[in-house]
Structure 1
Amino acid sequence: MYSYQRRKEPGPVFRIIIRGINDLKLRTKLILSFIVVVFIPVMIVGLFLTNELRHQALDNALEQTAVNVDRVKKRTSEVINAAYDISYRLSNDSRLARLAATEYETVYDVVKAYKDYPDIKEYISLYKEISNIRIYLDNPTLLDNWEFIQPSESIINSGWYQSAMSSSGLIGWNYIEDERDGKKYLSLIRKIDFRDEMSSAVLVINVNSRMLDAILNQETFETMIVDENNNIISSNRPGRVGKGLSEIDFDPSIVNKQSGTYNAVVNEQSSKIRIETLIPLSSLNGIRILSVFSVKTIVKDANQIIILATIVIFISLIVAIVLIYGFSNLLSKRMLRLSKHITKVATGNLDVTLAIDGKDEIGQLSRQFNAMVGSINVLLAEVQESNLQKTQLVTRQNEIKFKMLASQINPHFLFNALESIRMKAHIKGEKEIAKVVRLLGRMMRKNLEAGSKEVTLRSEIEVVRCYLDIQKFRYESRLGYELVIDPLTEQLHILPLIIQPLVENAVIHGLENKQEGGYVRIKAELMDKWMRIEVSDNGEGMDKQRLDFVLRSLEEQEDEANNRIGLRNVHMRLQLSYGREHGLVITSSPDSGTKISFTIPTGGGRHVQSADS
């Protein structure tokens, strides 16, 4: 049985409202509909857009602040890295160790020793990133000068000196006063151990404050560099350097925060603060970069736009109501005729034609109505053709799927065929041919199994060894090779099929045209945090013009007919996976062979984001 649910009739109040609306004149309905359909949504959208505009202004400011802080961090890192380089050299300088540990008998000997060691003055003149260098050492026979100083009791008892003496050579970054000129500098502080001389000293390198100020002066937002004790090292606002964050009405809840973006109150204004921590290599501590901007300042322009937009919208609404009231009588008759024809089309009559005079919107609507009716008739015919095309498309897709399935079977057939050839050759005593076929099958299987995931270096070297053994079968004694692989690198991960193209390039382009044959050497070694791989040959090599052409082809965006696609493919994969600094490095000269090398991080991870930043 079928059950029917009776449609609920509208209530008496709703019926009265509907009847009242139906009894209104057209112009009144237009005004009411305008208020309900346009005015209210515009107000809602206006409020939403107002809020979004403010948020967008803040988001843009935060994004710009993040970019600015990252730029300041990189440039500051470049400045202080100069001090790190100098400290590394001085800590390993045997002449400095002898000068510091020698007990001198006369003042003349001391002066002569200072004169024979001009390195510190040369560092100061060569590196604009530093201001001064001083070394505190306990040697009563030395004289205090601008570089070598006997530490006083106050210096020995200072926190930075005690920290350096107990830090085992790690670097400290402190904002301290240079007793020689009475000024404060961001200083690199580290203990230097002269092991052969059984002595030590404390090295202090002052970073050039003017360079730090120049970096910050290019920023639009208030930006500061502070040390771990919240002392302001540099600022693009006057009167802030040398003070603590607590002295400039800085929000106490943010003082000790590390990297991130925070809401705070600065100078009694709601503000956003971006903090980025910079801890240099081999350092005990670091510095922080702070960028501050007032929320009120950022949304000021947005607020002005909002006020102007509100005024314009309000005036437009008033004008629109007046126009609707004036033209409603002119429009009602023509709209009624249009409504009747639309009703006919709605009932399925597609043979109607509407004729309304005028070139205004209603006249345009009438012409569009007639065009629409004609288009519907055309579309009905096109639907059938579209259905036919859809059926053909499904058929083609099924054929493609079938071909893809067949393409998966072909490699297995090829492997089986190679294995049959190998067994035939083995049975007939052709061991060398059987070996080469086995190597070819293994190499092809490795190549087909290679995907986007990284493989171990040992697996990649197996592919290279198979290729070289096959080529050795071809060239016989004309080809020799050597694999120099550090055992520590064998389990490190590397992109698949990244070395074999380089070896193939060495064999084909370097040795094939050499009558007496040649030699290929593959070397893998660890270098600090990198693994370096080098493929070299003693082939015919390249002159400078040819080498420049090859290097340019590696950076081309479009493949050309004469381009070395194999090398370029390897070069681009290395750069996309590990960063631009990990591309191919090629050196060559005529009759001296070619050497191609590259490095990858030993962690095996991807490092692209940090390369062009």
Structure 2
Amino acid sequence: MNFIRIMNDMKMKKKLALTFFSAAVLPLVLSGLFLTGKLREIVINNASSQVSDNVERVRKRTEELIKVPLDISYRLTIDNRMKMVATKKYESYTEVIQAYREYTDIRDYIQLYKEISSIRVYVVNPEALNNWEFIQPDNTITSEAWYKEAIHQKGLAGWNLIKDERNDTEHLSLIRSFPVDSTGQKGVLVINVDKQQLSSILDQESFTTLIVDNRNRVVGSNEAEFFGKNLSDIDGEEKILSRQEGSYNTVVGGKASKVVIANLNPENSWNGLRIISVFSVSEITRDANQVIRLGVVVITVSLIFAILLIYASASLLSRRLFRLSKHMSKVGMGSWETYLHIDGKDEVGLLSKQFNALVRSVHDLVQEVQETNHQKSLVEQRQNEIKFKMLASQINPHFLFNSLESIRMEAHIRRQDDIAEAVWLLSTLLRSSLEAGNGNIPLREELERVRCYLGMQKFRYEDRLKYSLVVDPDLQEMPVPPLIIQPLVENSIVHGLDNREEGAVIKVEVKRIPKGVRVKVCDNGAGFSAERLASIRAELAVSVHEQESKRIGIRNVNDRLVILYGASSALSIESELGKCTYITFFIPGGAASND
């Protein structure tokens, strides 16, 4: 706690300097000493891991390469035509040559598959000839270890470095025996793996990489001088000859080295291959040692420069923070018009910009709250105008309702049901209008008020008035302001029916459209002249703050819509003299605000 108190009381300049020395300089020196010791180990481990990955890649690619001769050998050992050509008792050399010419499978395989360079079939047949595809094995061939081993393994494949008699060169070859007839005579199939394909796999490796057979002979290498040699001829430890899969430390050429070995065991084979990769530790760590020496120099120079820079930065930062603190004090005293400018795009500069934006936002919010309260007051005022203009303020509601109920009951007793219904509709309309508050109500309640009003007017005008209400069912519970549709219906009756002897049809339609709900009140009444319609539109276009309405009608409805939903929800009036009038408004989003 004392340490925290001391740090909190310390000046920003000294605090940053102390923090830099304790959190940067000292750990950097200690970690530098530790990491330089670990760097060599990491480099060696990374190199070993890389070599292991490379060896695994060579193993997989070599396995894919030798799958081709393995597959071809399987096809040839079950090829009866090949066996017949190799064992047939020919009567003349012409017949032999003709048979060899007609049998093209071996030549086709060599042309089709780049992974192999030659195919030789060794079968004892005195009547046959040697054409480097079918060869008569002499004593020299039959005495070879690979030939004897192939005969002994009974059809399994073997992989060894053997000499091709045609060009006296050695190749990694597949060796496999096969039965040639029912007497038990056997032949031997030899398929040479293409040297170029094998070299293309190894040449991509940056370290010395070898492929050796089970006799420790190098059958493939990315260094030409090792090809064909035995591992014992290479200047390395004897234990490499017997090591199996894994990573080992050894000495090659008098240098400490790493050896990574992976086994390749082809399917249906009596022996396999080993992939061996060797790299010298000194070669791997040479670059790391240079980096370490260079790092010591760079770190030393950097520390000296950082010490000077941190002191200058701390001084600059403390001055800028002090300016910000003074500005905040001014704002705290109520000075909303002050503006702070601090150069730079760092955290302090950004903080000053955000603080300026915060001051403006708070100022704008205060004005917005004031404007919102004013707008809310206007809405309540318009709502109260409708409520109080529909009912005379001198009438006692209870007296009025009781009187209307008495009249309705008396009309019902005297079997004047139409009068009773009209009184009930009037009572319901007055009660709902009187109970209408400043908040929103469900659309169904507003429509019920419209039905009551139209029912009363139907009682008055009888067959001269026809009406319909078309509403999407899912909009019944949509919140709307009270007395938002009924005044428009009343306007249609007053201006459309009173001046038309043949009566009128009034239609109220509430329909969901994209981005909201459209409310339309239509009548086929007297309509407005073009001049009167223009006058009404001009009156509605006047700002709510500029004109006070003394009527309940469309002006009041329009003002409330604009206040609640914006100018896009203002009343739209279309009319044609003597024909029709359409009044439409839009509620965005399909629901009114409950605020």
Higher Cα Rg, which structure: 2
What's the TM-score once normalised by structure 2's chain length? 0.49
What's the TM-score once normalised by structure 1's chain length? 0.47
